[in-house]
């Protein structure tokens, strides 16, 4: 399937997850991902990027475009299945405890899967939402990259710790000034600052 027809089919069928190869005819995978994440009908569909490009820059670009995970070729089918299951588990897993978190002007509504600042909606990918929710529910407590990989992505693997850094950076950008609430503890991890200001 080429990129254009894949994009049209995604808009029509709205699948539970998209495995997106970056090297597609007609329209490359990066453009397809960008189009999916900018369309309200498809922006919440999780995307797992599949590519032969293994450079860190390629992974960073994929995450910046809104991908939830990134697998490089060659890959084991078992790893691919585990990653798909982890993404779907993050998307569908019911959460216990607090459903709405309000921190100053920031509102995180788990049931509606919405984030707003001063009643203005902030568009986050499902992974960014889960990451923000995880940090906010444990505010004041340090979360290591490995812990966040386990809780948000559903797996632990040392080589993917930088995935967390990329998502944190994007999350801070989307939150604007409130992004400063997410503190970096060098060599340790991240913490959502206590307090409302």
My answer on whether 110 and 179 are in the same domain is yes
Residue 92: the pLDDT is: 56
Structure tokens at 28: 């490359």
* First vs last C-alpha separation in the chain: 49
My answer on whether 29 and 54 are in the same domain is yes
What does the alpha-carbon distance between residue 131 and residue 129 come to, in Å, rounded to a whole number? 5
Based on the structure, what is the number of domains in the chain? 2
My answer on whether 158 and 68 are in the same domain is no
My answer on whether 51 and 122 are in the same domain is no
Which range of residues forms the domain containing residue 160? 95-197
My answer on whether 192 and 105 are in the same domain is yes
My answer on whether 77 and 99 are in the same domain is no
Do residues 117 and 178 touch, judged by C-beta distance below 8 A?
yes
Kindly report the CATH number assigned to the domain that includes residue 164: 1.10.10.10
Kindly report the CATH number assigned to the domain that includes residue 81: 3.40.50.2300
Q: Work out the average pLDDT over 14-27.
A: 87
My answer on whether 1 and 88 are in the same domain is yes
Which of 52, 73, 93 is the last residue in one of the domains? 93
My answer on whether 39 and 109 are in the same domain is no
Structure tokens at 66: 């809104």
Query: How much is the pTM?
Result: 0.55
Neighbours of 151 (CB within 10 A): 17
Name the average pLDDT for the chain.
83
My answer on whether 99 and 69 are in the same domain is no
pLDDT in tens, 53-89: 767 677 777 778 888 888 888 888 898 898 888 888 7
Residue 94: the pLDDT is: 42
pLDDT in tens, 86-108: 888 766 544 445 578 888 888 88
My answer on whether 11 and 39 are in the same domain is yes
């Amino acid at each position: 399937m080429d990129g254009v027809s894949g994009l049209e089919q995604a808009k029509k069928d709205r699948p539970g997850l998209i495995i997106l190869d970056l090297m597609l005819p007609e329209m490359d995978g990066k453009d397809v991902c960008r189009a999916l994440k900018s369309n309200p009908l498809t922006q919440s569909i999780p995307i797992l990027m599949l590519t032969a490009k293994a450079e860190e820059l390629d992974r960073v670009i994929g995450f910046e475009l809104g991908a939830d995970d990134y697998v490089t070729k060659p890959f084991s089918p078992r790893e691919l299945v585990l990653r798909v299951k982890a993404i779907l588990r993050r998307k569908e897993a019911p959460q216990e405890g607090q459903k709405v978190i309000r921190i100053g002007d920031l509102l995180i509504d788990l049931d509606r899967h919405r984030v707003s600042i001063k009643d203005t909606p902030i568009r986050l990918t499902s992974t960014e939402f889960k990451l923000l929710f995880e940090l906010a529910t444990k505010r004041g407590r340090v979360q290591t990259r490995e812990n966040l990989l386990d809780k948000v992505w559903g797996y632990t693997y040392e080589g993917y710790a930088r995935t967390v850094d990329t998502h944190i950076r994007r999350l801070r950008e989307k939150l604007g000034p409130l992004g400063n609430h997410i503190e970096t503890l060098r060599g340790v991890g991240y913490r959502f600052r206590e307090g409302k200001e």
